[in-house]
Homo-oligomer: A and B are copies of this chain.
Amino acid sequence: MAITIRDVARQLGLSTTTVSRALDGYDDVAEETRATVIQTAAEMGYAPNQAARQLRRKRADAIGYILPAEAPRFSDPFFAEFIAGMGDQAARHGYDLLVSTASPSSKTEQETYARWLHSRKVDGMVLNRMRLQDWRVQFLAQNGFPFVTFERSRDPYEYPSVEVDEQHWFSVLVDHLVSCGHERIAYIGGPDDLKIEADRFAGFTQSMTAHELIIIPELVIHSDLTTEGGYKAATNLLHLDRPPTAIACINDTTAIGVLHASAEFGLAVGRDLAVAGFDGVEGFEHTLPPLTTINQPIYQIACQLVQMLADTLSGNPLSEQHVVIKPVLEIRQSTGGQT
């Protein structure tokens, strides 16, 4: 059995109260007492039982994140980076990170959120991959449960969030394609109910319209944000009688698949065909050719989210409720940019 506070107290001939307060840094403990307590506790390998502490303090010192994993063999590096960021920042604040997986909008997803909320397993949650109408926002907001999000759904609730002006930056990406001389530009997006799909496609439309270019329906494809999806979508596009000269992808992962399909068609990406992504996942500057993208600091965004959640949980007012991050357009060879 693990060592309890009572064991430490008994060992020292003190009451559990004193030990508890010494360890928690209260100032009504003699310095000398505190010193011995801390030392003895460390020697004995004492660590407070979390369950007991949680029960008493009514908080879990944990934050939750439910990975929107669509399928087995889910390996979008975006999430590795996102989780690493949350984990690091959570640790800095003394929080644990509880992770579960659930298919978006599935029954499992609902059950998991409900269970974590009701059972107080976590003190707050981080959400991303927001949907246009997001039941999670409604559910958490209505239950008064703390949460922060990356991207904002369109639900009429007030909550802290970090976001990127997706529409604007996607239009910047498309502007870049246009400035390279492209007119017949395709778009490979994601599921219709996702906020990023709506925003990024809006950015696509915005830029095309501003340049008086026509959006050709057969060049607009809904895919699933995976490399495999991008590969298939691009294969279809390149089979067309009049294929596009440029393809703007909703994310980097999709773009990788497009690069592959292009190569199979014998096209030199950057010369015969321009390809651009969005996200800026670490390591994707090493694709062939290197991928032009909108680079968002995913790790920092994840840190920022946890920071905001931690502030909320400890009652610190947030200086900014809606943090807007400015990503960077990285022009690389996949759109003919310099090496």
Contact = CB atoms under 8 A, between A and B. Distances in A.
A100 B84 CA distance: 8
Interface residues of A, number: 73
Interface stretch (A65-73, A126-134, A199-207, A209-217): A65-73
Interface stretch (A49-57, A172-180, A314-322, A323-331): A49-57
Interface stretch (A10-18, A91-99, A153-161, A184-192): A91-99
A119 interface: yes
Contact of A80 (B60, B80, B91, B228): B80
A118 B80 contact: no
B80 A74 contact: yes
Contacts of A85: 72
A287 B51 CA distance: 47
Contact of A75 (B2, B84, B119): B84
Contacts of A121: 50, 96
A83 B67 contact: yes
Interface stretch (A20-28, A29-37, A107-115, A163-171): A107-115
Contact of A83 (B78, B83, B287): B83
Nearest to A112: B91
A81 interface: yes
A62 B115 CA distance: 14
A224 interface: no
A318 B329 CA distance: 52
Question: What are the 8 tightest A-B residue pairs by CB atom distance, in nearest-first order?
Answer: A47-B118, A87-B101, A51-B54, A288-B288, A260-B286, A227-B283, A75-B81, A51-B55
